[in-house]
Chain A
Amino acid sequence: MTARVAVTGLGSLSALGNDVAAHLAGLRAGTVGIGETQGVDVSSMKTKISAEVRGFVPEAHFDPRQLGLVDRTSQFAVVAARQALADAGPVLEGAARHRVGAIFAASVGSHAVDDSYRKLYAEGAPRPHPFTVPRAMPSGQVSHITMDLGIHGPAFAIASACSSAAHAIGTAFHMVRAGMLDVAISGGAESQLTYGMLKSWEALRVLSPDGCRPFSKDRAGLVIGEGAGAVVLENLERARARGATIHAELVGFGMSADGMDITAPDMASAAAAMAFALEDAGLAPEQVGYVSAHGTATALNDRTETAALRHVFGAHLTKLPVSSSKSQYGHTMNASGALDFVTTVLALREGFLPPTMGFREFDPDCDLDCVPNAAREARIEAAISSSFAFGGLNAVLALKRYD
Chain B
Amino acid sequence: MQTNDPAVAEIVDFISGEVGVDSSLLTPDTPVAELGISSLDLIETIFKLETRFGIEIPNDGPLNGNDVTVGTLVDHVADLLAAQKAKIA
Contacts and interface: CB of A to CB of B under 8 A. Distances in A.
A209 B40 contact: no
Interface in B59-85: 59-60, 64, 66
A220 B38 CA distance: 19
Given A209-B59, A299-B66, A203 B40 contact: no
Given A46-B59, A209-B59, A204 B38 contact: no
A205 B38 contact: no
B43 A209 contact: no
Nearest to A203: B47
A263 interface: yes
For chain B, which range describes its interface: under 10, 10 to 19, 20 to 34, or 35 or more residues? Answer: 10 to 19
Contacts of A262: 40
A261 B38 contact: yes
* Residue of A203, A205, A209 contacting most chain B CB atoms (<10 Å): A205
Contacts of B66: 299-300
B82 to A, nearest CB: 22
Contact of B43 (A205, A220, A261, A299): A205
A299 B64 CA distance: 10
For chain A, which range describes its interface: under 10, 10 to 19, 20 to 34, or 35 or more residues? Answer: 10 to 19
Interface string A83-99: 00000000000000000
B59 A264 contact: no
B67 to A, nearest CB: 11
A264 B39 contact: yes
A197 B59 CA distance: 18
A263 B47 contact: no
A264 B40 contact: yes
B36 to A, nearest CB: 13
B47 A264 contact: no
Nearest 8 A/B pairs, CB to CB: A263-B40, A205-B43, A205-B59, A46-B59, A204-B43, A264-B39, A203-B47, A262-B40
13 contacts: A46-B58, A203-B47, A205-B43, A205-B46, A205-B59, A205-B64, A209-B59, A209-B60, A261-B38, A261-B40, A262-B40, A263-B39, A264-B39
Given A203-B47, A205-B46, A263-B40, 14 more contacts: A46-B58, A204-B43, A205-B43, A205-B59, A205-B64, A209-B59, A209-B60, A220-B60, A261-B38, A262-B40, A263-B39, A264-B39, A299-B66, A300-B66
